Structure 1
Amino acid sequence: MISRDLIFVLGGARSGKSMHAEQLANDSARPVTYIATARVAGDAEFGARIAHHRERRPAHWQLLEAPIDLAGAVTQIDAPEHCILIDCLTLWLANLLCPPEGDGLPIDRYHAHVAAFEAALLNAKGKIIVVSNEIGLGVVPLGAATRLYVDELGRLNQRIAALSTQVTMLVAGLPLALKTAGRA
């Protein structure tokens, strides 16, 4: 039996996954820290997306930005009776594989970040809600870099789903339970 309280929320773009995760965090009746993985907006449209997320969050939630060291952020703020909402793994992976400096992290450093994040989740004492996109439902993308990203996100999503006590996928705003507490 898994003793941790780890909820994984997946979905496509504009599926409602972030709103659903925010509602779960709010319903937990615990203090919430929102970990944002996005880097500073590079264009107006992405800036508007970030602003929309900020406006929707309750003002009393704490915010921690962790575009690279997600494991360190979780470890720093994790506590019993606390809720951490991580939004989202998709942007975190992009930060690791496609940093603004141009060259991605060497694959061994990328895997080290993923392993450290996985360990932080395994050792967590509080409730953690993780959001990620499901992007592997379409055609195999052209280009090696894009295929690497899609493949690595699929692998990362599988790893987090395996650790989770609950996995929900959002489609058209509707939550579909893929894994519920007590059922693998």
Structure 2
Amino acid sequence: MQEPDITLVLGGARSGKSRLAERLTSEAAAARAARRVYIATAQALDAEMAARIDRHQAERGPGWATREVPFALADAIRAAGPEEVVLVDCLTLWLSNRLCALPDPLAADVLLEPEVEDLLDAISQARTSLILVSNEVGLGLVPETPLGRAFRDCAGRLNQRMASIAHRVAFVAAGLPLWLKRC
């Protein structure tokens, strides 16, 4: 059996990052004769988001085990076994979930640090290959609100830390991957 590895797929909204991550997961699972596991961090908090989640599940098709994990992502990664290849979609939704649950979201850097460290530890110790999806949110305008700026800053730092432990990092634009790192 191959050693577990970590791939980070970055991109903007509707860039094609999830499609690439799904393909990479399917290829890795086929090479290992492993199950494909989709860890979904989105929450269906309104009808539009529920429809979006349903559409994404239908587009993936059969053969995926889906685990809905809006908060306890590190635990879900630790629970994944070597007979699985895991796609996490996406880190920025997980971060948003965590940020909005804080008593003071503007202190996110300090308040989320233990959870980010725990997530990094879980990923580093994973017993399976992981494909992580995250939005690159720092390419646009400076957000208008303090909460928006706090989210952008936390997401940028999270992506940097994930990229530092990943074996491969791709940036996707217009459906095309640009490989930033391949180890």
TM-based fold match above 0.5: yes
Is structure 2 residue 30 aligned with structure 1 residue 26?
no
| Structure-2 residue corresponding to 1:115 | 117
Q: Distance in 1 between matches of 2:9 and 2:70?
A: 19
Correspondent of 1:37 among 33, 41, 46: 41
Task: Give the superposition deviation at 1:109.
Answer: 4.2
| Structure-1 residue corresponding to 2:130 | 128
Correspondent of 2:52 among 49, 54, 60: 49
Q: Distance in 2 between matches of 1:14 and 1:26?
A: 20
Task: Give the superposition deviation at 1:58.
Answer: 3.4
Q: Distance in 2 between matches of 1:146 and 1:85?
A: 26
Q: Which runs of 5+ in 1 are unaligned?
A: none
Contact 1:4 1:165 in 2 (8 A): no
Q: Distance in 1 between matches of 2:8 and 2:112?
A: 21
SS in 1 for 2:139: coil
TM-score normalized with structure 2 length: 0.89
Identical aligned pairs, as a percentage? 45
Report the structure, 1 or 2, having the larger helix content.
2
Q: How does 1:79-158 map to 2 (within 5 A)?
A: 79-99=81-101, 104=105, 107=108, 108-158=110-160
Q: Distance in 1 between matches of 2:169 and 2:140?
A: 21
SS in 2 for 1:132: strand
What's the RMSD between the two structures over aligned residues?
1.8
SS in 2 for 1:97: helix
SS in 2 for 1:139: coil
SS in 1 for 2:39: strand
Q: Distance in 1 between matches of 2:93 and 2:175?
A: 21
Counterpart code for 2:98: L
Q: Distance in 2 between matches of 1:91 and 1:145?
A: 15
**Aligned length, in residue pairs:** 176
Q: Distance in 2 between matches of 1:134 and 1:159?
A: 13
Counterpart code for 2:68: E
Q: Distance in 2 between matches of 1:24 and 1:12?
A: 18
Task: Give the superposition deviation at 1:105.
Answer: 9.5
SS in 2 for 1:129: strand
Counterpart code for 1:46: M
Contact 1:10 1:170 in 2 (8 A): yes
TM-score normalized with structure 1 length: 0.89
Counterpart code for 2:15: S
Task: Give the superposition deviation at 1:59.
Answer: 1.9
Q: How does 1:61-80 map to 2 (within 5 A)?
A: 61-77=64-80, 79-80=81-82
